[in-house]
């Protein structure tokens, strides 16, 4: 593939091909080494304005987009919802039109509504990168997960990956359920019935028994319970979620010998994952995921601001 990337916006993994994903991962590789240098300054985004419009809280995603843009030389402006006119009742489209009038060159958006990034892309004159829309998609998270796995195993094809926990409300699962099978992984979803998708996507094995679901897996991806996206409280039977679905040291015994553990963060230690598992230097890739996040976001900012990218 040439440097002409065939998409104007990054709204989700859905709609990307396996080649598109591999292209973005290959582009990200150069930034991994670059980010480990003492001095990290590239000039390819000099003169460009990047707006990060985050309508929901974020630690990793907001900071890594900001750091990524700055390392590439962009002028980065963060839009803070708490001090914005959204609090005065301004609609999403009006806010987008306002930001667009300031002539940004790329907009990174996180919003609590599914489809918000696509809605905003309709009115923006610049590329839009979805940094998480409701329980929809979080494409840069799936890309950084794929890069982390590809660097660890040298491949994604054939890996047995168990995505565990609150799949139903997770945009991380939403994106990974598109990317990982496209890249050739064998993906299972594992969790209590009420946290699995109401109609499980065809082609995925689904398990409500945690120990059965993670047996023999090369990768366990644990997810936080997304209470903020639930319309109803969890049933009482899930009161002791940790005893049924928590990833404990004993349960690691069930995995493949070189298995790894991932979590997109923020973690709730003692709920979906134990602290000693999250910190296990042999198994845990959680901080590698954060590191790869900066590289992936640099690649996305670079690729999506190229003048010759697709319509």
Residues that bind ligand ASP (CB under 6 A): 132, 138, 171-172, 224, 226, 264-265
Phi, psi of 100 (to 5 degrees): -65, -35
Neighbouring residues of 270: CB distance < 8 A, sequence distance ≥ 6: 242, 246
Helix (H) or strand (E) holding 80: strand 75-80
Residue 229 is encoded by which pair of tokens? 């996206």
Residue 126 CA to residue 185 CA, distance in Å, equals 33
Q: How far is the CB of 8 from ligand ASP (least distance, A)?
A: 24
Q: Which CB, 45 or 142, lies closer to ligand ASP?
A: 142
Q: Which is nearer to ligand ASP, 113 or 256 (CB)?
A: 113
Q: Nearer Cβ to ligand ASP, position 224 or 283? A: 224
Taking the complex as a whole, the smallest distance from the CB of residue 36 to ligand ASP amounts, in Å, to 24
CB of 132 to ligand ASP, least distance (A): 4
Nearest distance in Å: CB 44, ligand ASP: 27
Going by C-alpha positions, the residue among 206, 215, 276 that lies closest to residue 248 is: 276
Closest CB to ligand ASP among residues 34, 63 = 63
Residue 3 main-chain phi, psi, to 5 deg? -75, -10
Contact at 8 Å (CB) between 309 and 5? Answer: yes
Helices assigned H by DSSP within 39-112 = 60-71, 92-101
> Cβ-closest residue to ligand ASP?
224
CB of 171 to ligand ASP, least distance (A): 5
The nearer residue to ligand ASP, 48 or 180, going by C-beta atoms, is 180
Nearer to ligand ASP, 137 or 274 (CB): 137
Nearest to 74 by CA among 302, 303, 281, 250: 302
Three-state DSSP at 269 gives strand
Give min distance, CB of 173 to ligand ASP, in A: 9
């Amino acid at each position: 593939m040439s440097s002409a990337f065939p998409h104007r916006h990054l709204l989700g993994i859905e709609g990307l091909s396996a080649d598109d994903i591999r292209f973005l991962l290959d582009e990200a590789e150069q930034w991994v080494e670059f980010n480990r240098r003492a001095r990290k300054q590239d000039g390819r985004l000099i003169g460009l304005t990047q707006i990060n419009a985050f309508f929901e809280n974020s630690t990793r995603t907001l900071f890594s987009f900001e750091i990524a843009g700055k390392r590439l030389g962009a002028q980065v402006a963060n839009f803070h919802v708490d001090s914005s006119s959204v609090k005065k009742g301004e609609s999403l489209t009006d806010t987008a039109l306002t930001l667009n009038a300031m002539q940004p060159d790329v907009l990174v958006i996180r919003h609590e509504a599914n489809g918000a990034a696509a809605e905003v892309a309709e009115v923006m004159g610049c590329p839009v990168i979805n940094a998480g829309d409701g329980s929809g998609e979080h494409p840069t998270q799936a890309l950084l997960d794929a890069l982390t796995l590809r660097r660890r195993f040298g491949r994604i094809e054939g890996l047995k990956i168990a995505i565990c926990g609150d799949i139903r409300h997770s945009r991380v699962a939403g994106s990974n359920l598109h990317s990982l099978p496209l890249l050739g992984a064998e993906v299972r979803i594992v969790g209590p019935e009420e946290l699995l998708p109401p109609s499980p996507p065809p082609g995925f094995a689904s398990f409500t028994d945690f120990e059965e679901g993670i047996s023999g897996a090369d990768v366990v991806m644990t997810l936080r319970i997304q209470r903020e996206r639930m319309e109803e409280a969890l049933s009482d039977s899930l009161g002791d979620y940790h005893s049924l679905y928590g990833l404990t040291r004993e349960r690691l015994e069930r995995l493949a010998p070189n298995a790894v553990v991932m979590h997109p963060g923020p973690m709730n230690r003692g709920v979906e994952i134990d602290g000693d598992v999250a910190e296990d230097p042999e198994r845990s890739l959680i901080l590698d995921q954060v590191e790869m996040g900066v590289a992936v976001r640099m690649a996305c900012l670079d690729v999506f601001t190229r003048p010759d990218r697709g319509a």
